[in-house]
């Protein structure tokens, strides 16, 4: 698929460009991003080059990951990165990071909601899944604010920097945001 652009009330989500290298590199120096996400640590210039030249375009081309730079609607350098990745049986996983100076403003939950709406309406997505290492309360707050239902804890289900870690898992379904599903859903009777 060719990269697309999504807009919200405050944000523009579009593909990363070469000019974003300095902003991505600077953001990924944050110890919290290195600790809680799968970006390499230490995050070197070669990592941002690989991200911009290979990972982002390959994901779009191969329909395996749709990675967006999250920017203010009026333009400027990216505030954050968000992606839908690892498609499986109609479900996509969401991943994200926000530059330290832009946290706490609701940007990421707004971006995640826009991506989920696009996934449900354009990708026939049946479920958007969120995972974060147990203890990553910032990521959990974003997921909950975006409408995800936290479903529980999975043991040894997140591989990060060569170590399996327990993770929280949550989901957002089309019905959670008032959309019809691509296939019928029959929840259990209680």
Render pLDDT for 31-50 as a digit per residue (tens, 0 to 9): 999 999 999 999 999 999 99
Model pTM?
0.96
Q: Are 23 and 29 in contact (CB under 8 A)?
A: no
Nearest to 47 by CA among 30, 66, 28, 65: 28
pLDDT at residue 130 tops 90: yes
Per-residue pLDDT at 189: 87
Query: What CA–CA distance (Å, rounded) separates 103 from 30?
Result: 12
Q: What is the pairing mode between strands 127-133 and 149-160?
A: unpaired
Query: What CA–CA distance (Å, rounded) separates 147 from 106?
Result: 13
Per-residue pLDDT at 74: 96
Neighbours of 30 (CB within 10 A): 19
Domain positions in the chain: 6-177
Question: What pLDDT digit, counting tens, does each position of 34-90 carry?
Answer: 999 999 999 999 999 999 999 999 999 999 999 999 999 999 999 999 999 999 999
Query: Residue 19, Cα to own-chain centre: how many angstroms?
Result: 21
Beta-strand (E) ranges in the chain? 6-7, 11-14, 65-72, 80-88, 91-98, 127-133, 149-160, 163-172
Per-residue pLDDT at 190: 79
Per-residue pLDDT at 187: 87
CATH architecture assigned to 6-177: 3-Layer(aba) Sandwich (3.40)
Q: Are 33 and 96 in contact (CB under 8 A)?
A: no
Nearest to 3 by CA among 67, 50, 84, 86: 67
Query: What CA–CA distance (Å, rounded) separates 59 from 32?
Result: 25
Q: Are 47 and 34 in contact (CB under 8 A)?
A: no
């Amino acid at each position: 698929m060719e990269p697309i652009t999504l807009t919200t009330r405050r944000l523009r989500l579009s593909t990363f460009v070469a000019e974003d290298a300095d902003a991505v590199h600077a953001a990924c120096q944050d110890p919290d991003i290195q600790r809680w996400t799968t970006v390499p640590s230490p995050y070197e210039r070669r990592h941002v080059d690989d991200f911009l030249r290979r990972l982002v375009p390959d994901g779009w081309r191969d329909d395996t990951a749709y990675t967006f730079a999250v920017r203010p609607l009026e333009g400027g350098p990216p505030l954050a990165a968000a992606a839908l990745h690892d498609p499986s049986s109609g479900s996509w996983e969401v991943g994200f990071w926000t530059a330290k100076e832009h946290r706490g403003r609701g940007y990421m939950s707004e971006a995640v909601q826009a991506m989920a709406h696009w996934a449900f309406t354009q990708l026939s997505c049946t479920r958007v899944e969120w995972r974060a290492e147990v203890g990553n309360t910032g990521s959990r707050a974003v997921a909950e604010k975006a409408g995800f239902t936290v479903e529980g804890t999975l043991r040894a289900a997140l591989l990060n920097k060569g170590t399996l870690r327990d993770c929280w898992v949550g989901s957002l379904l089309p019905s959670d945001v008032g959309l019809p599903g691509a296939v019928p859903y029959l929840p259990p009777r209680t």
